[in-house]
Chain A
Amino acid sequence: MGEIIEIRWHGRGGQGAKTAALLLADAALGEGKHIQAFPEYGPERMGAPVQAFNRISEEPIRLHCQVTNPSIVVVLDTTLAGTVDVVAGLPEDGIILFNTAEEPAAIRKRLSIKGLKVFTVDASGIAKEKIGRDVPNTPMMGALIKVTGLLDFDRMLEDNKKKLTKKFRNKPEVIAGNIEAIETAYQEVKSE
């Protein structure tokens, strides 16, 4: 049994937390890795707190229990941090990535985060500029790859291009916007 990397995505219904988990898993599959991607299903509604999960491993994954101790957490909506325990289950050296224009140190202070490696990126700002809408999930993927080194960035970008091309055949501007947003977030993500 090889090491399994577990990731938890926090977002609000409609922000694309589930889609982000699916896209990441698909990209990891493209690199020959074994993957799982699944959302938490409850009474989900637009704007309500939602979670999605990934498992990524070099070996086949057999686990079918919930992810409770992820080593990486991605927060698509930082306003969730007041009501949802976004650091729950993270180990001392875990990684947490916030979608916010704030500096990592400011977030750490404001949310009283102890330990962990805190990263921030203004994914919503980037999405609004590049895609024209507040859809932070794809730029957050770019930032996630940068801070974790989980996947090869160029291959992930290629993979996303292919998938977006399939999904948005009639909206080429959406494809270009998403790709630019991923690249920008990859470059702009901030560490402490």
Chain B
Amino acid sequence: MGKTRVARTGNEAMAEAIRQINPDVVAAYPITPATEVMQIFATYVADGLVDTELVPTESEHSAMSAAIGSQVAGARTMTATSSQGLALMYEMLYIAAGLRLPLIMAEVNRALSAPINIHCDHSDTMGGRDAGWIQIFSENSQEAYDNLIQAVRIAEHKDVLLPIMVTTDGFIISHAMEAMEIYDDKDVRGFIGTYKPLLPALDHRNPITVGAIDFVDYYFEHRRAVAQAMINAKDVILEVGREFGRKFGQEYGFYEAYKLDDAEVAMVCLGSTAGTGKDAIDNLRKRGIKAGLLKIRVFRPFPAEELAARLRCVPQICVLDRSDALAATGGPLFAELLAAMYEDRSEHKIINRIYGLGGRDIKVGEIEELLSAQVSAAAGGKSIDRIAYLGVRE
């Protein structure tokens, strides 16, 4: 097992993973901040480092359509996008899942218009959370790389066969250079294996129909199968995460728990904020506040039971949402975690803070202040809002 320590941005890390995966087809359209992923990958194609057929399309809708067509034909296919690009793919996202195509997407989280903004929040992928795509978030460049490699195995598993997106935080990770480890090509290729499509449309001896209409007689059964695939994905994600750990050293699960065992207060979040949060947790502990952190890695399928079990003994929970569902009841992660914790008999106080929209910075001090205020409110001090916005001028 060879590893090389390098300095890479999130986009470079994703492009490196795609080079090592060496997909049969890549179809994409550029969009900030994901453009670089394909720009770098296109140089690999031009330099003959991969065997990939790169299809530059005229829009993201076309990119996803081309990717679907190529995957149906039996080719391992990837794409990359962000924000408005993902939004433009929306119609096709559902089709990719419904056709049970193990497409792989590198997604760079960016806010949605209007107002137009190129910076990070999670609104774009939250918009596709019910589309039948597996969604895995990354804290840093290393995780973006590791997650993309695992994505191949998860999506293509016979019990899953669903499209998958691996995300990084726009600019914060996509354009920030960090130290990370790259694995040898042969090890990565050995891990992902050769793609054996279940029903390739180009197999003329076994003709199939793809995308036919379902009336009331079968639509429900086919959608039920998609739902089952998402349920099945849970075991596969864990299995692949363990095998990845055995081979490359870092095991992955549904979440990462940081100093959670004796925590009286815990923050729950997605993506890069977990890194900043860990520093805040250390500072709080130095001040005598037993704080912890739970970073959710897998958002689809949502590991509700596992999260509830892990948070069972934490009385105070603060869910940090980097997107707003505009539902007048808090952010999407908050809503899902609340539902997950509902069955649990123990007493929890769960609050929600929507933060960081459009790339607004979140600082160590802000997190410390937030969690210490929650602990103090729980002890009978100044009360705090259950749902509120953090770091905004109101």
Contact = CB atoms under 8 A, between A and B. Distances in A.
Interface string B242-279: 00000000000000000000000000000011011011
Contacts of B364: 63, 65
B88 interface: no
Contacts of A61: 178
A29 interface: yes
Interface string B93-134: 000000000000000000000000011000000000000000
Interface in B149-204: 169, 171-173, 175-179
Given A29-B7, A41-B119, A36 B276 contact: no
B5 interface: yes
Interface residues of A, number: 20
A38 B279 CA distance: 19
A53 to B, nearest CB: 9
B272 A29 contact: no
A35 B275 contact: no
B24 interface: no
Interface residues of B, number: 28
A39 B36 CA distance: 15
B169 A64 contact: yes
Interface of A: 1, 22, 25-26, 29, 34-39, 41, 60-66, 68
Contacts of A38: 171, 175-177
B22 to A, nearest CB: 23
Contacts of A65: 276, 361-364
Contacts of B172: 64
Contacts of B33: 41
13 contacts: A1-B282, A29-B6, A34-B179, A35-B177, A36-B176, A38-B171, A38-B176, A41-B118, A61-B178, A64-B140, A64-B169, A64-B275, A65-B364
Contacts of A25: 7, 177
Contacts of B139: 64
A39 B362 contact: no
Given A25-B7, A65-B361, A65-B362, A36 B178 contact: yes
A3 B185 CA distance: 35
Q: Which 6 A-B pairs have the closest CB atoms?
A: A38-B176, A62-B275, A64-B272, A37-B177, A66-B361, A64-B275
A36 B177 contact: yes
B331 to A, nearest CB: 19
A62 B5 contact: no
Contacts of B276: 62-65
Contacts of B176: 36-38, 64
Q: Which of B7, B278, B363, B364 has the most CB of A within 10 A?
A: B7
A63 B176 CA distance: 11
A64 B363 CA distance: 8
